Amino acid sequence: MRRKLVAGNWKMHGSLAENQALLGALKAALNGLQGAGVAVCAPFPYLAQLQAELSGTTLAWGAQNVSEHAKGAFTGEVSTSMLKDFGCTYAIVGHSERRSLYGESDETVAKKFMAAQAAGLIPILCVGETLAEREGNITEQVVGRQLDAVINAAGVEALAKAVVAYEPVWAIGTGKTATPGQAQAVHAFIRGKIAGLNKAAADGLVIQYGGSVKAANAAELFSQPDIDGGLIGGASLIADEFIAICKAAA
Ligand code: PGA
């Protein structure tokens, strides 16, 4: 049985004071939660705060992006070893906002994925189609291409030590959730594609769903056979919502 994983993606939100309150509530409700892993991914400046607050709990933490380079003249970038210094377990790579707003290509995302794994981080690889791509019936082609970039660069076995987050771009922050059936269909496609190359990697792969997950729809999404938890944006900033989502996965 795959363990479910719920990860919060705070995006560019938070302050020391707000985070303190949120983390306090999460720790009180979720430390020791059985049956599902819980993680939060914060902006870089707050990773030290996560380390201070969450060390010694069952909650893990991570970053929302990472450089593909180890060190050097890359102004504004943050390396995998820096994330390790602050106790990160996870690094999100290839979020659709990084791909669309910051021009990250499939190849760059694959490099970030490999750099994260080489440093002992677990990459959360985001894939997903835009509304136009869905309406053009090329969802599987797009998601397949995004996966292939990583499989070709890192090998399919690498996915056994990673998390994939299926996040249809049209569902992110829009309040439009994919129906459980729509999400399950793409999750099954992802697992089937990987199973065709390596069954063990596919069976063990945690595939999260992301895109307007909230307390009210989490349980139904997570009950689908190939949905192994969620990557949660907006609702991860509201303690009661995020706690309920994590409990729905457990
Ligand atoms: P959302 O964001 O839950 O606010 O739709 C999900 C994400 O972008 O990771």
Which residue lies with its CA nearest to atom 9 of ligand 1?
233
What's the predicted TM-score (pTM) here? 0.98
**113 near 158, Cβ under 8 Å?**
yes
- The question of whether 18 is a catalytic residue gets the answer no
Query: Of 95, 97, 104, 129, which is the active-site residue?
Result: 95
Note the pLDDT of residue 176: 87
Helix (H) or strand (E) holding 211: none
Q: How far is CA 234 from the centre of its chain?
A: 14
94 lines ligand 1 (CB under 6 A): no
The reported pLDDT for the residue numbered 234 is 98
Query: What b-and-e string marks burial along 130-168, b requiring 16 or more CB atoms within 10 Å of the CB?
Result: beebbeeeebeebbbebbebbbeebebebbebbbbbbbb
Q: Which CATH class is domain 5-249?
A: alpha beta
Distance between CA atoms of 70 and 67, rounded to whole angstroms?
7
Task: Look at ligand 1, atom 2, and give the residue with the nearest C-alpha.
Answer: 233
* Distance in Å, CA 208 to ligand 1 centroid: 12
For the Cβ of 173 lying below 6 angstroms from any atom of ligand 1, the answer is: yes
Cα(110) to centroid(ligand 1), Å: 21
- What number does the ligand 1 atom closest to the CA of 234 have? 4
pLDDT tens, the chain, 250 aa long: 799 999 999 999 999 999 999 999 999 999 999 999 999 999 999 999 999 999 999 999 999 999 999 999 999 999 999 999 999 999 999 999 999 999 999 999 999 999 999 999 999 999 999 999 999 999 999 999 999 999 999 999 999 999 999 999 999 999 888 999 999 999 999 999 999 999 999 999 999 999 999 999 999 999 999 999 999 999 999 999 999 999 999 9
Q: Residue 92 CA: which ligand 1 atom is closest?
A: 9
Query: For residue 9, with 0-12 CB atoms within 10 Å meaning exposed, 13-18 middle and 19 or more buried, which class applies?
Result: buried
Q: How far is CA 12 from the centre of its chain?
A: 15
**8 pocket-lining for ligand 1 (C-beta < 6 Å):** no
Catalytic entry in 129, 167, 187, 241 = 167
Domain boundaries, the chain: 5-249
Active site residue 241: no
Contacts of 46 (CB under 8 A, 6+ apart): 14, 16, 19
Type of residue at 118: A
- Judged on CB neighbours under 10 Å (0-12, 13-18, 19+), 45 is exposed
Per DSSP, 74 falls in state -
